[in-house]
Amino acid sequence: MALGLPRQTSQLHPTPRAGLRGLGRLFTQGRVRRSSPSDPLNAFDLAFTQWLTSWTPEGTAAKIVIEHLSGNDTIKGMLGVLALWWFWHRPHPELTKRRELVVATAAAALVAAAASRTLAHLLPPRPRPFQVEGLHLPVPLDTLWDVKGSSLPSDTAALGLAIVAGVFIIHRRAGLALAAYTVLFMVIPRAYVGIHWASDLAAGTALGILVTWTLTRPATRELLARWPIHLHRTAPHLFYLGAFVVGHGLLTRFDDLRQVLYWLRLAAR
């Protein structure tokens, strides 16, 4: 997709030494095209992506590591899933309340991811940064973008920040630590490799936090957790089977399953 960006790539990629000032200059000096009301992109997204992707040259070890990190579900999501298991099992005077919050957080993360994918198909199509010709970004190693369609909003950010919000409600310091980890290892790499724009990630973040806040209200979380907690007490073997499936879904966003369903749809045509 051509956006009429300047042909000289030196104008598109500020040097890292410029820091945030370089980002500001890109935006204020008009080195990115200002978008029209119908344009699916905007000047800030373009400027931020140009600035962020300029920090490491193509082919360097740091860039290769970040590219692999952006698609590594274990590194991206394991800490959040472990945090939920920790608060489920850790003794506490209000253990039942904590377990209700854990169930509500897990449900919120799955709902937020599903809502994000639904919105991506309902909203006008939006190209991903690596699909914009003027940015000269390589195709990411993570290929599931072709299954998910439009880039707005980010389901990765929606799911990850939904878990962060739930952990923050349970334990503020743990939530802040998890937030820093999630932004560093889950959110930023998605923008760096050109899978998402900054506004995609911001929209996913807002969606995840909103869904978690809604589902963790006392009456709602009690309703959501009633059956899982009862199952844990009466049939723990069944509970942990289901919990394993949910945990796997939180870790991978069921991407493997969605890819299989996508292939089946293509085969049926």
Q: What is the pLDDT of residues 159-193, one digit of tens each?
A: 999 999 999 999 999 999 999 999 988 888 888 87
Q: What would the pLDDT profile of 191-220 be if each residue is shown by its tens digit? A: 887 778 888 899 999 999 999 999 999 999
Classify domain 60-268 at the CATH topology level: Vanadium-containing Chloroperoxidase; domain 1 (1.20.144)
User: What is the reported pLDDT for 138?
Assistant: 61
- Judge whether 209 and 202 are in contact, CB under 8 Å: no
User: What is the reported pLDDT for 179?
Assistant: 95
- Least Cα distance to 185 among 75, 91, 101 occurs for 75
Distances from the Cα of 62 to the Cα of 23, 53, 66, 73, 137, angstroms: 21, 12, 6, 19, 16
Q: How far is the C-alpha of 208 from the C-alpha of 119, rounded, in Å?
A: 13
Distances from the Cα of 175 to the Cα of 165, 188, 226, 249, angstroms: 7, 18, 24, 21
- The mean pLDDT of 127-131, rounded to a whole number, is 75
Q: What would the pLDDT profile of 1-60 be if each residue is shown by its tens digit? A: 444 443 333 344 444 444 444 444 444 443 444 343 344 457 777 777 777 777 665 556
Range(s) within the chain of domains with CATH label 1.20.144: 60-268
Q: How far is the C-alpha of 205 from the C-alpha of 184, rounded, in Å?
A: 14
Q: What would the pLDDT profile of 7-16 be if each residue is shown by its tens digit? A: 333 344 444 4
- The mean pLDDT of 137-146, rounded to a whole number, is 58
- The mean pLDDT of 116-143, rounded to a whole number, is 73
User: What is the reported pLDDT for 219?
Assistant: 93
- Judge whether 51 and 22 are in contact, CB under 8 Å: yes
- pLDDT grade, residue 148 (50/70/90)? low
User: What is the reported pLDDT for 170?
Assistant: 96
User: What is the reported pLDDT for 135?
Assistant: 62
